[in-house]
Amino acid sequence: MEDDFEAGTVKKFMFVNRKPPYGTVYALEVLEMVLISAAFDQDVHIAFLDDGIYQIKKGQDTKDLGMKNFSPTYRALEGYDIEKLFVERECLEERGLSEDDLLVPVEVISRAEMGKLMAEMDVVLTA
């Protein structure tokens, strides 16, 4: 794999978010990893499924918790040329949410389609 990077091969990367924000540090850590990955000019995909969907829920306000609200940073991804964001439809439905509840433009796909997309990737990182 290192040789490929040296040769400038572009790989398909997918970061899979399955955890909600704030309760644990996973969501923020993945977001930082995504931002850093942008420097390597790879083909980056981000998937939100299960509770990961809550990361991009509109209207987050953490003032009372004394924690940083990092949800606006997902809107910066476009400026980093990371525009392939996918959300699993079944997961939205299970949580009583719809695409309008999300703070960034995403492509909503089915669980079956998500599985296929994952299979097309060279590297998948899930947290």
Partner 1 sequence: MSTLHTVNKSPFERSNLQACLGHAQNGDSVLLIEDAVFAAIAGNTFAPKLADAAQDIKLFVLGPDLKARGMDPAKVVDGVNIIDYEGFVDLAAASSTIHSWL
Partner 2 sequence: MAYEVNGKSIEADEEGFLVNINDWNEELAGLVAKDEGVDMTPEHWEVVNFLREYYAEYQIAPAVRVLTKAIAKKMGPDKGNNKYLYELFPYGPGKQACKIAGLPKPTGCV
Q: Give 89's contacts (C-beta < 8 A, 6+ positions apart).
A: 108, 109, 110, 111
Confirm or reject binding of residue 57 to partner 1 (CB under 8 A). yes
Confirm or reject binding of residue 79 to partner 2 (CB under 8 A). yes
Identity of the residue, 69 or 98, whose beta carbon is nearer to partner 2 in the bound complex: 69
Contact positions with partner 1 (CB under 8 A) in 3-22: 18-22
Helices (H), 16-95: 26-37, 89-94
- Mask of contacts with partner 1, 61-100, x by CB under 8 A? xxxxx-x-x-x----------------------xxxx---
Return the closest-CA partner of residue 125 out of 14, 21, 44, 18.
Answer: 14
> Helix or strand or coil: residue 125?
strand
Confirm or reject binding of residue 58 to partner 2 (CB under 8 A). no
